[in-house]
């Protein structure tokens, strides 16, 4: 289905051919090909419920470069706090309902980007991705996912562009996506989206995580559909030793244990027991000279050593840079 005027929530809802066209266009933008100002006269609201360095900077810059106007709203700070529960009796802290806020924004702007991390309090609510779906439900203009509970599709597109850039292709690339240690329980959005996009683009992915840290079953269902289309397998293992040998790409990311919602102190003890999942040069030495990837922000010397992230095979800044170009391509296609 073409991207024009559509919501963009996850890559698995898009055709591979449309995503490939986006990446080709992103490469053209990166090489300085900007013939016109496709967003002239258009404006995009960027709604942030959570902090950001890369997403905010690249969206604001990309929109301006394309001739449009970005309007950034930090919810609960200079913008009102938002209630998203249907039928809520709003006699507590939240000032405005999402249905009013989104209907109003739809009358001002041509698209709305939303960053809404999971609250990590209710597994059911986070797995339902309720906040971004609330925006989708009440908006008359396209909603762009700037990272929700479940997905970070712009990061995944930049990661795929980076693999393509470094290897010349994605099909058949052996990718090890590994869980990494971290002092806090983090969302699964980045690994979910990277796994989906890598499967969609024909990578041979091995997902490695300790047994207590699976990704959501719903995501694996979507991944299996991509595997059926690409014909490339996705393996799930419980050790890095099974994932790293021969890999062309190592992607490190931490996430919290789905079975421990509301019991994060208990989970922390288990998480702390896996400090040896840090990515080191020694572990990278059994790969096929793999590039190292991480979405950033990174916890140095916890998730990976300085040697790995600063080393010659690290592609973390290339991916961060490519966020700008894939998002410009996305904005142009949608608007
Ligand atoms: N990777 C990423 O989305 O970075 P920010 O959280 O800084 O936007």
Which pLDDT belongs to residue 1? 54
Query: Where are the domains positioned within the chain?
Result: 11-151+323-334, 155-320
For the domain covering 155-320, report its CATH number. 3.40.50.1370
Same fold, 11-151+323-334 and 155-320: yes
Q: For residues 46, 52, 58 and 61, what is the CA-based torsion angle, rounded to 10 degrees?
A: 60
Asked if residue 296 has its Cβ within 6 Å of ligand 1, the reply is yes
Give 89-96 contacts, CB < 8 A, sequence gap 24+: none
Per-block mean pLDDT, blocks of 10 residues, the chain (335 long): 91 97 97 91 98 98 98 94 93 94 98 96 92 96 98 98 96 98 97 98 98 97 94 96 98 96 94 97 98 98 98 98 98 98
Mutate to test the pocket of ligand 1, among 187, 295, 316 (most ligand atoms within 8 A of CB): 295
Question: Residue 90: how many CB atoms within 10 A of its CB?
Answer: 11
d(CA 7, CA 291): 32
pTM of the model: 0.97
Report the CATH architecture of 11-151+323-334. 3-Layer(aba) Sandwich (3.40)
Asked if residue 55 has its Cβ within 6 Å of ligand 1, the reply is yes
Do residues 191 and 177 touch, judged by C-beta distance below 8 A? Answer: yes
Mutate to test the pocket of ligand 1, among 53, 146, 299 (most ligand atoms within 8 A of CB): 53
Asked if residue 57 has its Cβ within 6 Å of ligand 1, the reply is no
Rg over alpha carbons for the chain, rounded to the nearest Å, is 20
Q: Is 334 exposed, middle or buried (0-12, 13-18, 19+ CB in 10 A)?
A: buried
Asked if residue 295 has its Cβ within 6 Å of ligand 1, the reply is yes
**CA 10 – ligand 1 centroid, Å:** 16
Among 280, 282, 205, 289, which Cα is nearest to 246's?
289
Do residues 75 and 51 touch, judged by C-beta distance below 8 A? Answer: no
Which pLDDT belongs to residue 34? 82
Question: What is the atom index within ligand 1 of the atom nearest the CA of 55?
Answer: 8
Which pLDDT belongs to residue 325? 98
Asked if residue 193 has its Cβ within 6 Å of ligand 1, the reply is no
């Amino acid at each position: 289905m073409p991207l024009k005027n559509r919501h963009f929530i996850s890559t698995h809802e898009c055709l591979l051919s449309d995503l490939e066209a986006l990446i080709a266009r992103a490469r053209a933008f990166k090489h300085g090909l900007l013939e016109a100002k496709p967003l002239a006269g258009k404006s995009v609201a960027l709604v942030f419920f959570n902090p950001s360095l890369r997403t905010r900077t690249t969206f604001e810059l990309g929109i301006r470069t394309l001739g449009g106007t970005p309007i950034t709203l930090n919810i609960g700070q200079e913008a009102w706090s938002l209630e998203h529960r249907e039928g809520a009796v709003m006699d507590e802290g939240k000032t405005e309902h999402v249905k009013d806020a989104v209907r109003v924004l739809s009358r001002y702007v041509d698209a709305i980007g939303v960053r809404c991390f999971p609250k990590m309090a209710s597994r059911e609510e986070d797995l339902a991705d309720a906040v971004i779906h609330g925006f989708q439900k009440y908006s008359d203009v396209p909603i762009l996912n700037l990272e929700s509970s479940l997905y970070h599709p712009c990061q995944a597109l930049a990661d795929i562009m980076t693999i393509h850039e470094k290897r010349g292709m994605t099909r058949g690339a052996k990718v090890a996506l590994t869980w990494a240690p971290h002092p806090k329980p983090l969302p699964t959005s980045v690994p979910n989206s990277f796994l989906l996009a890598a499967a969609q683009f024909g990578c041979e992915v091995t997902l490695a995580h300790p047994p207590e840290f699976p990704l959501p079953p719903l995501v694996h269902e979507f991944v299996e559909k991509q595997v059926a289309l690409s014909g490339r397998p996705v393996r799930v293992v419980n050790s890095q030793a099974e994932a790293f040998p021969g890999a062309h790409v190592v992607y490190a990311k931490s996430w919290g244990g789905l079975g421990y919602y509301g019991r994060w102190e208990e989970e922390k003890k288990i998480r702390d027991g896996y400090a040896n999942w840090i990515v080191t040069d020694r572990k990278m030495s059994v790969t096929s000279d793999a590039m190292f990837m991480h979405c950033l922000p990174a916890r140095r010397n916890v998730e990976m050593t300085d040697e790995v992230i600063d080393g010659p095979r690290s592609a973390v800044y290339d991916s961060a840079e490519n966020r700008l170009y894939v998002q410009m391509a996305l904005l142009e296609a949608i608007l």
